[in-house]
Amino acid sequence: MSIKHARSGGTARWTATIGAISCALFLAGTVTATAQPVVEPAPPATITEDGADVVPPEGSEEQRVKAEDQGVERPSVDQVGTASSTYDPESETSGYGPVFTNFIAGFLYNVVNPNVAPQGANDWNCKPTATHPEPVVLLHGTWENAFNNFSRMSPALKAAGHCVFALNYGDSDASGLSHVKSVRGTGPVAESAKEIATYIDAVLARTGASKVNIVGHSQGGLVTRQYLRFEGGANPSDPSQNKVNKVVSVAGSNHGTTLVGIGTLGRTINNLGLNVLGLVGAIAGPAASDQVIDSPLVKALAVGGDTEPGIDYTVLGTRYDEVVTPYKTTFLDAGPNATVKNILLQDGCGIDLSDHLSISVSLRAIGIVKNALDPVGTPANAIPCAFNSPVTGG
């Protein structure tokens, strides 16, 4: 399989050639690349009116490879249907775990306590306020879950006055990893989007809200796009009927990632004590292959642009992302009647060394999320700058 990807202006180019070896074998560490991604220095940041640092996305939608160019048809509304999951959304989690500022500590705690929720989440009696009318739904990443991904962020959002909800999605596929209770996000992204649709409908029904806001990490960014476009989250013919107001993507695999990134994630989690690299083929779960940059799902989502009308997007990336590679592929281009703010975590704060995993416990990242959801309650000048190490975090 040959992959070539280039953006305009020469700001980022990479070429990689990978032999016709399966993604599963790559996860086992057996795939080699003859060339590694080459990323030139990022373009200078711009400053918005509210003082936030923004890195413009590279290229334009017209220059991005479209699904039809790859022989992939975009599903029609009739093909999509409605959410099919029938589980009880309120039983997604049981009890609460402590707040962790260290990602590894939270991850290891969660191996023994796989069903707990992060503090502040899943109060099904929570009623939105006039200040925060949309509940916040947190979507975790691949091989993570609601607790270890949002142990620090969820209580911070709750303390800021939001109703917060977090589910464990993508854990009902037949892969071996889906049977490891603390490992979620293994199932097909398209099926996870259906599960999320059911969950969000339940949140809307119980809270009485007309819309939610979504914060998604890693796969949480990509599955959000799938939900918005194909599972009823957005209504392009009448954006006033959208079920989502704001999307905050944190290191999201929004355009897929190279196989190098998927393999790195597997090695990192392997080093934390879960042997995902020793499991090959379907055992590792289809979500990983869905997120490869040339997957049919990624190419189908490329048709029609990155965004949905009426949605306000904030996209946060980190220069040290070793999973979503190249890291700038996380950024989105705004389409009609949508707004996009692309933010590089290190702009204005070089001491935050967050990588793909530790960004979820970064004080700066959490401040940016709070600002995106409520710029009045957390103005840009209140976003902290603090040291955060790769992998472990604080």
Which domains are present in the chain? 53-382 (3.40.50.1820)
CA dist 105 and 118 (Å) reads 14
Q: Please tell me the least confidently modeled range out of 70-74, 122-126, 261-265.
A: 70-74
CA dist 39 and 5 (Å) reads 11
Over the stretch 260-286, which tens digit does the pLDDT of each residue have?
A: 666 566 556 656 666 554 443 355 578
Per-residue exposure over 12-23, b if at least 16 CB sit within 10 Å of its own CB, e if not: bbbebebeeeeb
| Mean pLDDT across 178-190 | 82
CA dist 358 and 141 (Å) reads 12
CA dist 279 and 302 (Å) reads 31
pLDDT score at 179: 60
Q: Which residue has the tokens 């017209």?
A: 62
Q: What is the C-alpha R_g of the chain? A: 19
Q: Please tell me the least confidently modeled range out of 60-69, 313-322, 335-344.
A: 60-69
Straight-line distance from the first to the last Cα atom of the chain, in angstroms, rounded to the nearest whole number: 39
Q: In this model, does residue 155 exceed pLDDT 80? A: yes
CA dist 324 and 218 (Å) reads 8
Compare 273 and 175 and report the one with higher pLDDT: 273
Over the stretch 209-268, which tens digit does the pLDDT of each residue have?
A: 999 999 999 999 999 999 999 999 999 999 999 999 999 999 999 999 886 666 566 556
Compare 148 and 4 and report the one with higher pLDDT: 148
Measured torsion, CA atoms of residues 296, 299, 303, 307, in degrees rounded to the nearest 10: 110
pLDDT score at 293: 84
Q: Ramachandran region of residue 131, left (φ > 0), alpha (ψ -120 to 50) or beta?
A: alpha
SS (H, E, C) 103-150: HHHHHHHHHHCCCCECCCECCCCCCCCCCCCCCEEEECCCCCCHHHHH
Pairing of β 312-317 and β 212-217:
unpaired
pLDDT score at 382: 97
The crossing angle, in degrees rounded to 10, of helices 219-230 and 189-207 is: 70
pLDDT score at 20: 26
Most confidently predicted of 77-81, 109-113, 243-247, 323-327: 243-247
Q: Please tell me the least confidently modeled range out of 86-90, 241-245, 375-379.
A: 86-90
Which residues, other chains included, contact 197 with Cβ-Cβ below 8 Å and sequence gap of 6+?
Answer: 82, 83, 85, 227, 231, 232, 233
Which residues, other chains included, contact 250 with Cβ-Cβ below 8 Å and sequence gap of 6+?
Answer: 215, 216, 217, 218, 220, 221, 316, 359, 360, 365, 369
pLDDT score at 88: 82
Q: What is the mean pLDDT of the chain?
A: 79
Q: In this model, does residue 351 exceed pLDDT 90? A: yes
pLDDT score at 266: 57
CA dist 274 and 110 (Å) reads 12
Over the stretch 20-47, which tens digit does the pLDDT of each residue have?
A: 223 332 233 322 232 333 333 333 333 3
pLDDT score at 270: 58
Q: How confident is the model at residue 171 (pLDDT cuts 50, 70, 90)?
A: confident
